[in-house]
Amino acid sequence: MVFLGLAFKSLISRRGSVVLTCLAMTVSIFVILGVEHIRTQAKESFYNTVSGADLIVGARTGSANLLLYSVFRIGSATNNVSWESYSDITADDRVKWAIPISLGDSHKGYRVMGTTLSYFEHYSYGKKRNLKFANGKPFHDLFDVVLGSQVAKNLGYGIGDQITLAHGIGKTSFSMHDDKPFRISGILAPTGTPVDQTLHVSLQGIEAIHLDWQPGSRKSGPEVNSLVQEDLAIKSVTAFILGLKSRMTTFEVQREINEFSQEPLLAILPGVALAELWEMINILEGVLQLISYLILFSALLGLAAMLLASMREREQEIKLFRAIGASPSFLFVLIQVEALIICGSSILIGSACLLLGLGVTKEKLSANFGLYVEANIFSTNSVLLLSLVVIATVAVASIPSLGAYKQARSVT
Amino acid sequence: MTVNIENLRYAYDKKGNETLLDIPRWNIAKGEKVLLHGPSGGGKSTLLNLISGILRSSEGKLEVMGERLDKMNERERDRFRANNVGYVFQSFNLFPFLNAYENVDLSLYFSQDAKPKGSKQEIENLLSELNLSKSDCAKPIRKLSIGQQQRVAIARSLIKKPGLLIADEPTSSLDEENRNQFMSVLLDLINEQDTTLLFVSHDLSLRPHFNRAEALAGINQGKTI
Ligand SMILES: Nc1ncnc2c1ncn2[C@@H]1O[C@H](COP(=O)(O)OP(=O)(O)O)[C@@H](O)[C@H]1O
Ligand SMILES: [Mg+2]
């Protein structure tokens, strides 16, 4: 095509300023695509933390707080839910399944969570994806533990390894005569959610950890090997997740739990709470977007300035184009094509750099920030953004294009 | 009749207060070679732009190769020029970002609707006829001498075999040797193709090459500054 060839050769003859303009556009497209991609990925991975749950229930607190400790395993509950209340509520006809969550312990900085086998059956994340085992199987014994994928990977644990689980968060202060009683029975496949950072034991396992086994004060406590069911009676859970038989009953059950007479409880809708929490933590989102748009705008202005400055040198060219029979609209299109070539190559280079950058930093992002970013940057949104960039380029390039058009018409 | 002008008037300022050109009658016969001369600023280039259809006259009749340019719109005049009029300037005759071959090829592109597509061979033949070697034709324009560049300009304007060739002081920046070479290759091709030539120059020593020499002041009654 004549336009492409001409525009390309003309650009090459002015490569100095063209390369700089292209660079500015490339950086802006890199930033705008990068911000958009990470923003949507962060949001998606946030919203995908838990799915398929109808209600999350805990002691009365803020809904954000309940969501944070029950789902994100950040912070801790001020109060627990008594086992009686848990049993009452989950015995209700409208409840299909329940996953108890018992928190408060840790292992080398990773949270330990007590739950039941119901967790492996009903907990889901993303688009209703259930937990899968990469290795091994759920806990069956009191001292079985199931690891999240990151825990196993980062601590180098495998099936059958024996580990110590401590009471309290963040320290390993507890010992007993058999100081590594827990055995790894299973390792979960990666989920990209806080599940990956969690160690899972049975509710009784949590009670076992809580028994006062500190040396010196242990004389009244039972021997580990002779623990009996009564010693491990479960007194409370931290929170629980409910699945209902019918979605229609969600609000009704929620209200009843919130008005529960035995103790003050809070039931939240995970979707609503996630949206509220996202609103709270995403203040940066808008600012980042604004900045990336401003960068694009300035790059576009640079493009227009470069093309406009070149028009002065090209007065003679325009005259020659006219003499050999080119119409003014030919010149208009030619300048537009030049701008679009710059825009197109910037899009290509910018996206390639972003793809490469994400490929390289993907691991670090997930390890350090728990941010799971897909390398595929071409979502509907980013394609839309790029179309916007192209349209903006055409708009901005109209300034020099119209200049060329006018000059062509008044040429002598 | 290649050019037929009757009562043509032209003014740059729209009110027409200062009519630059006012030509009651002027003709150029087919195949004729006309030298047009006159002082700078007299309106010679303006007249050439009117005849080629780049500018449009506001009044009078302007017929070129049987077509009424004054009755055509801009698009039609562009097409007409691309197909029928060759143009050589004093300088900047070639796009600096294209080589000689590409410059000639581009000119053909704009006229290709009316003429069968010129072959690569045709362009190469013409360039070699003009004493331009193959390697020169592949070089960037700025690596060619002024004389070579003006000869490429001849090729560029004659490749489409126009009925009329307009030359606006094409020899003014050439030394004597290059000027003579330019004139001889130009006239050879013009005669070969039977092209009408309208040539502007203040160099009256070129007079013997032409059928007719005309001072603009002799045909123009417009006001000169
Ligand atoms: N685009 C233009 N707009 C207004 N005035 C012009 C334009 N081009 C040329 N002129 C004026 O018209 C007159 C004739 O110019 P020109 O045709 O170039 O003369 P010549 O070629 O004989 O030197 C000059 O006074 C020039 O200043
Ligand atoms: Mg002139």
Nearest-CA residue of chain A relative to B160?
A324
Exposed, middle or buried, A363 (CB in 10 Å: 0-12/13-18/19+)? exposed
Ion ligand 2: residues, Cβ under 5 Å: B 45
In ligand 1, the atom with minimum distance to the C-alpha of A410 is 1
CB contact under 8 A, B54 and A412: yes
Confidence of residue A298 (pLDDT cuts 50, 70, 90): very high
Q: Render pLDDT for A206-220 as a digit per residue (tens, 0 to 9).
A: 888 777 544 333 334
Q: Render pLDDT for A44-71 as a digit per residue (tens, 0 to 9).
A: 888 888 888 999 999 998 888 999 888 8
Residue A51: the pLDDT is 87
Give the helix ranges, DSSP H, for B85-142: 100-111, 120-129, 134-138
- From atom 11 of ligand 1, which residue's Cα is the shortest distance away? B41
Cβ of B163 less than 6 Å from ligand 1: no
Same-domain status, A100 and A224? yes
Residue A328: the pLDDT is 93
Percentage with pLDDT > 70 across chain A: 89
Average pLDDT of the segment spanning A171-190: 69
The CA distance from B217 to the nearest CA of chain A, in Å, is 20
Residue A175: the pLDDT is 46
How far is CA A116 from each of CA A100, A165, A208, A321, rounded to the nearest angstrom? Answer: 7, 18, 15, 80
Same-domain status, A23 and A88? no
Whether residue A341 is contained in a domain is answered as: yes
Confidence of residue A366 (pLDDT cuts 50, 70, 90): low
Burial A371-401 (b: 16+ CB within 10 A, else e): bbbeeebeeeebeebbeebeebbeebbbbbb
Identify the CATH class of B3-98+162-219.
alpha beta
Domain end among A245, A268, A291 = A268
Average pLDDT of the segment spanning A108-125: 91
The 3-state DSSP class for residue A269 equals coil
Q: Which one of B69, B79, B87 makes the best mutation probe of the A interface by having the most chain A beta carbons within 10 Å? A: B87
Q: Check residue B222 and give left, alpha or beta (phi > 0: left; psi -120 to 50: alpha).
A: beta
Locate the DSSP E strands across chain B: 3-10, 21-28, 33-37, 59-64, 67-68, 85-88, 164-168, 196-200, 212-215
CB contact under 8 A, A317 and B95: yes
Cβ of B90 less than 6 Å from ligand 1: no
Residue A310: the pLDDT is 87
Cβ of B43 less than 6 Å from ligand 1: yes
How far is CA B53 from each of CA A168, A385, B113, rounded to the nearest angstrom? Answer: 92, 44, 18
Chain position carrying tokens 């980042």: A288
Residue A143: the pLDDT is 87
CA of B51 to the centre of ligand 1 (A): 15
Confidence of residue A238 (pLDDT cuts 50, 70, 90): very high
CA of A253 to the centre of ligand 2 (A): 92
Q: Which two tokens stand for residue A114?
A: 């007590």
User: Euclidean distance between the first and final Cα of chain A, in Å?
Assistant: 28
- Which residues of chain B neighbour A326 with C-beta distances below 8 Å? 78, 82, 110
Cβ of B53 less than 6 Å from ligand 1: no
Confidence of residue A180 (pLDDT cuts 50, 70, 90): low
Residue A245: Cβ within 10 Å count: 13
With an 8 Å Cβ cutoff, the interface of chain A facing chain B consists of 2, 6, 9-10, 12-13, 316-317, 319-320, 322-328, 409, 411-412
Domain count for chain A:
2
Confidence of residue A141 (pLDDT cuts 50, 70, 90): confident
In angstroms, the CA A39 to CA A284 distance is: 10
The 3-state DSSP class for residue B38 equals coil
Q: Which residue has the higher pLDDT, A407 or B58?
A: A407
In angstroms, the CA A243 to CA A254 distance is: 12
Pocket test for ligand 1, best of A406, A407, A412 (most atoms within 8 A of CB): A412
- Residue A322's Cα: distance from chain center in Å? 57
Which residues of chain B have a pLDDT value below 50?
114
CA of B10 to the centre of ligand 1 (A): 11
Half-sphere exposure in the Cβ direction for A285 (13 Å, CA): 14
Exposed, middle or buried, A273 (CB in 10 Å: 0-12/13-18/19+)? buried
Cβ of B135 less than 6 Å from ligand 1: no
Same-domain status, A60 and A149? yes
Same-domain status, A283 and A152? no
Residue A355: the pLDDT is 92
Weakest-pLDDT range from A168-177, A336-345, B28-37? A168-177
Q: Are residues B53 and B88 in contact, defined by beta-carbon separation less than 8 angstroms?
A: no
Residue A176: the pLDDT is 44
**Mean of the per-residue pLDDT values of chain A:** 86
Element (H, E) at A186: strand A182-188
CB contact under 8 A, A409 and B111: no
Weakest-pLDDT range from A69-83, A144-158, A323-337? A69-83
What one-character DSSP code corresponds to residue A72? I
Same-domain status, A72 and A191? yes
Same-domain status, A70 and A121? yes
Q: Are residues A182 and A90 in contact, defined by beta-carbon separation less than 8 angstroms?
A: no
Give domain limits for chain B.
Answer: 3-98+162-219
Same-domain status, A22 and A162? no
Exposed, middle or buried, B52 (CB in 10 Å: 0-12/13-18/19+)? buried
Q: Are residues A162 and A204 in contact, defined by beta-carbon separation less than 8 angstroms?
A: no
Q: Render pLDDT for B167-189 as a digit per residue (tens, 0 to 9).
A: 999 999 999 999 999 999 999 99
pLDDT at A321 over 90: yes
Same-domain status, A282 and A264? no
How far is CA B223 from each of CA B12, B22, B23, B25, B214, rounded to the nearest angstrom? Answer: 12, 8, 11, 16, 18
- Partner residue opposite B95 with nearest CB, options A2, A320, A322: A320
Domain end among A247, A268, A289 = A268
Average pLDDT of the segment spanning A217-242: 66
Residue B10: the pLDDT is 92
Residue A73: the pLDDT is 84
Average pLDDT of the segment spanning A260-276: 92
Residue in A346, A322, A345 with CA at minimum distance from that of residue A332? A322
pLDDT at A280 over 90: no
The CA distance from B218 to the nearest CA of chain A, in Å, is 22
Q: Are residues A88 and A82 in contact, defined by beta-carbon separation less than 8 angstroms?
A: no
In angstroms, the CA B111 to CA B99 distance is: 19
Expressed as residue numbers, the domain containing A87 is: 55-268
- Partner residue opposite A323 with nearest CB, options B87, B97, B98: B87
B29 touches chain A (CB under 8 A): no
Q: Are residues B61 and B1 in contact, defined by beta-carbon separation less than 8 angstroms?
A: no
Nearest-CA residue of chain A relative to B167?
A323
Residue A221: the pLDDT is 43
Same-domain status, A185 and A125? yes
Average pLDDT of the segment spanning A116-129: 89
Pocket test for ligand 1, best of B9, B17, B36, B45 (most atoms within 8 A of CB): B45
Q: Are residues A142 and A208 in contact, defined by beta-carbon separation less than 8 angstroms?
A: yes
Q: Are residues A201 and A100 in contact, defined by beta-carbon separation less than 8 angstroms?
A: no
CB contact under 8 A, A320 and B110: no
pLDDT at A248 over 70: yes
The 3-state DSSP class for residue B16 equals coil
Same-domain status, A99 and A147? yes
pTM: 0.78
In ligand 1, the atom with minimum distance to the C-alpha of B39 is 22
Domain end among A268, A300, A317 = A268
Q: Render pLDDT for A302-311 as a digit per residue (tens, 0 to 9).
A: 998 988 888 8
Whether residue A273 is contained in a domain is answered as: no
